[in-house]
C-alpha cells in the first residue's frame, strides 16, 4: 500500500486502515482546512480560517472515511471543521479550572481517590469543542523523567486508588514510554485501577496494537478504557475489532460523549448512539453538558432539552445503556448531575 501512504491526496475511499501503522496514520492525517474541504467536496466558505489559526485542524483519514462526501452538516465533519460560529465572543479559556487543580505540573486532582496524569499533550484528532483547546500544553512536561515528580506525588499517597491517563490523548505516547509508565504505576500496591481516557480506538483504531494489548494484559490493576464517541456514525467495524481485542484482555470499555448542538442533539441521535454502543459492548458512562470554552459556545444545548433527551433514552433502552447526564462545575467534588 506504499502508493497510498505517500500520496496524501488520495480519495477518501482509497484509504486502508489495517496495513498502516498508527504512527503512519498520525503522519498522514489531514492538518489543513482547505484540504479537508476538498477531500469531502465541501465548499471552502464553510471553513473559518481564523479559527483554524487558533486551533489547527487534525483529522485522521480513518475518521474522515466515515463522513459523507458533499454534506457540510455531516456530524463527524462538524466535530473537526473550523466553523464561522467559533469567532463568536464569550466563553472561557480554562472553563473547568484545570490550571487551579494541579498537584504538580501535568497532574490534576479534583476528586477524592483518583488523580489524572496528562502524560501526553498531543491528540489523534482535534475536536472543535475541546475544553482543553486553549490549555497551555507547552508548560506540561512529557517523558518518563518529567513524569517522575507526578509519580512521586502519589507514590506513597494511600488515598489514591486510581490513576487516569489523559492528555491530550495518553496513547500518543510511544509504547516504550507508556510501558515504563504503566510498569511504574503497577509497582504501587495502593493503585488498584488504571483508567485510560482516549479517542484513539475511535479515530485511529490500529493504535490498539499487539504491544498495547500486551501491557494491558500484564497490568496488575483493573484496566478501564473510557472512549469518546459522540455519534453512531463513528462506530464502524475497525472500532468493533479494537473493542473486542480490549475486552478479550479483560478491559472494561466505557464511553463519554458531549452533547453538541447540530451534531447529536436530536433524541434519535442519542438513541442510535447508545444502542450502537451497547451492541459494541461499550457502556455509556457520561453524557457531558458542554464546558463553556471560548470558541465552542454555539454547540451548547440547554439543560431542559438535555434532560428531555435522556428521559427519552430511559424510556427506550435498558438501564445500562443510559448515560449519566453531567456537567463539570469547578470546585465540586464530582461531576455534577444535571
Give the interface with ligand SF4 as residue ranges (CB under 6 A).
Answer: 123, 125-127, 130, 132, 168-169, 199, 228
* Binding status of residue 228 toward ligand PLP by CB under 6 A: no
CB-based contacts of 83: which residues, under 8 Å, 6+ apart?
A: 46, 47, 48, 51, 128, 298
Selection from ligand SF4, ligand PLP, none that 125 binds (CB < 5 to 8 A by kind) is ligand SF4
Residue 15's binding partner, choosing from ligand PLP, ligand SF4, none, with beta-carbon cut-off 5 to 8 A by kind?
Answer: none
Q: 35, 68, 111, 155: which one contacts ligand PLP (CB under 6 A)? A: 111
Helix, coil or strand: residue 196: strand
> What are the DSSP E strand ranges found in 52-128?
102-104, 107-111, 114-118
**β-pair type (283-288, 252-258):** parallel
CB of 198 to ligand SF4, least distance (A): 8
Q: Write the DSSP string, 302-334.
A: -HHHHHHHHHHHHHHS-GGGPPEEEE--TT-SS
CB atoms within 10 A of CB 22: 22
Of residues 237, 329, 327, 247, the one with CA closest to residue 283: 247
Q: Which is nearer to ligand SF4, 55 or 157 (CB)?
A: 55
User: Please, what is the minimum distance in Å from the beta carbon of residue 178 to ligand SF4?
Assistant: 17
DSSP state of 338: -
Q: How many residues bind ligand PLP (CB under 6 A)?
A: 8
**Residue 114 binds which entry of ligand SF4, ligand PLP, none, CB below 5-8 Å type-dependent:** ligand PLP
Q: Which of 28, 65, 66, 114 binds ligand PLP (CB under 6 A)?
A: 114
Residue 27 DSSP SS3: helix
Minimum CB separation of residue 323 from ligand PLP in Å reads 12
Task: Give me the least distance between CB of 171 and ligand SF4, in Å please.
Answer: 10
116 sits near ligand PLP (criterion: CB under 6 A)? yes
The item of ligand SF4, ligand PLP, none sharing an interface with residue 126, based on CB under 5 to 8 Å by kind, is ligand SF4
Smaller CB distance to ligand SF4: residue 163 or 204? 204
Residues 6+ apart with CB under 8 A from 311: none
How far apart are alpha carbons 147 and 55 in whole angstroms?
26
Pairing of strands 162-166, 193-197: parallel
Q: Burial, 76: exposed, middle or buried (Cβ in 10 Å; 0-12, 13-18, 19+)?
A: buried
Q: Min. distance of Cβ 124 from ligand SF4 in angstroms?
A: 7
CB 303 within 8 A of CB 338: yes
Residues 6+ apart with CB under 8 A from 289: 259, 301, 303, 306, 325, 326, 327, 338
Question: Residue 111 binds what, of ligand PLP, ligand SF4, none (CB under 5 to 8 Å, by partner type)?
Answer: ligand PLP
Closest contact distance (angstroms) between CB of 318 and ligand SF4 is: 28
Residue 164 lies near ligand PLP (rule: CB under 6 A): yes
Smallest distance from ligand SF4 to CB 316, Å? 27
Which of ligand PLP, ligand SF4, none has residue 123 at its interface (CB below 5 to 8 Å by kind)?
Answer: ligand SF4
State which residue, 164 or 313, has the beta carbon closest to ligand PLP: 164
Instruction: Compute the distance between CA of residue 33 and CA of residue 86 in angstroms, rounded to an integer.
Output: 14
Within residues 276-335, the interface with ligand PLP by CB under 6 A covers: 334-335
3-class SS at 335? Answer: coil
Task: CB nearer to ligand PLP: give 142 or 164.
Answer: 164
**Interface ranges with ligand PLP (CB under 6 A):** 108, 110-111, 114, 116, 164, 334-335
Amino acid at each position: 500500500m506504499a502508493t497510498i501512504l505517500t500520496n496524501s491526496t488520495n480519495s477518501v475511499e482509497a484509504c486502508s486502515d489495517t496495513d498502516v501503522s498508527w504512527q503512519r496514520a498520525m503522519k498522514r492525517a489531514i492538518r489543513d482546512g482547505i484540504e479537508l474541504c476538498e477531500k469531502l467536496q465541501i465548499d471552502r466558505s464553510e471553513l473559518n480560517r481564523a479559527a483554524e489559526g487558533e486551533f489547527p485542524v487534525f483529522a485522521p483519514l480513518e475518521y474522515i472515511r466515515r463522513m459523507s462526501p458533499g454534506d457540510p452538516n455531516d456530524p463527524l465533519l462538524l466535530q473537526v471543521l473550523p466553523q464561522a460560529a467559533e469567532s463568536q465572543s464569550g466563553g472561557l479559556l480554562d472553563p473547568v479550572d484545570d490550571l487551579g487543580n494541579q498537584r504538580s505540573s501535568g497532574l490534576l486532582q479534583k476528586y477524592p481517590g483518583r488523580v489524572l496524569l496528562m502524560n501526553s499533550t498531543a491528540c489523534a484528532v482535534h475536536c472543535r469543542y475541546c475544553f482543553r483547546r486553549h490549555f497551555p500544553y507547552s508548560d506540561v512536561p512529557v517523558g518518563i523523567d518529567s513524569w517522575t515528580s507526578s509519580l512521586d506525588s502519589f507514590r506513597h499517597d494511600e488515598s489514591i486508588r486510581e490513576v487516569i491517563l489523559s492528555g491530550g490523548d495518553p496513547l500518543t505516547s510511544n509504547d516504550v514510554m507508556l510501558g515504563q509508565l504503566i510498569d511504574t504505576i503497577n509497582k504501587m500496591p495502593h493503585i488498584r485501577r488504571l483508567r485510560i481516557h482516549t479517542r484513539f480506538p475511535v479515530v485511529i483504531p490500529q493504535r490498539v496494537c499487539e504491544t498495547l494489548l500486551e501491557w494491558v494484559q500484564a497490568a496488575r490493576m483493573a484496566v478501564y478504557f473510557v472512549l469518546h464517541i459522540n455519534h453512531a456514525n463513528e462506530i464502524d467495524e475497525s472500532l468493533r475489532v479494537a473493542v473486542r481485542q480490549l475486552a478479550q484482555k479483560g478491559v472494561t470499555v466505557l464511553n463519554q460523549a458531549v452533547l453538541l448542538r447540530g451534531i447529536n442533539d436530536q433524541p434519535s441521535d442519542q438513541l442510535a448512539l447508545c444502542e450502537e454502543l451497547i451492541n459494541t459492548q461499550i457502556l455509556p458512562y457520561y453524557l457531558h453538558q458542554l464546558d463553556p470554552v471560548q470558541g465552542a459556545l454555539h454547540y451548547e444545548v440547554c439543560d431542559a432539552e438535555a434532560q428531555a433527551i435522556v428521559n427519552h433514552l430511559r424510556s427506550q433502552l435498558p438501564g445500562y445503556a443510559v448515560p449519566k447526564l453531567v456537567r463539570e462545575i469547578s470546585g465540586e467534588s464530582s461531576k455534577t448531575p444535571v
